[in-house]
Amino acid sequence: MTDQEIQKWKNTIDNMSPIEMASLMRFAPSGHPVFRNDLPLWEYFNDRFKKLGGMTTEVSKQIGW
Q: Residue-wise pLDDT tens for the chain (65 aa)? A: 899 999 999 999 999 999 999 999 999 999 999 999 999 999 999 999 999 999 999 999 999 87
Under a CB-based contact definition with an 8 Å cutoff, are residues 19 and 59 in contact? yes
Q: Would the pTM count as exceeding 0.85?
A: yes
Alpha-carbon distance of 26 to 24, in angstroms, equals 5
DSSP state of 4: H
Q: Is the dihedral of CA 9, 44, 33, 40 positive or negative?
A: positive
Domain ranges of the chain: 3-63
Under a CB-based contact definition with an 8 Å cutoff, are residues 49 and 18 in contact? yes
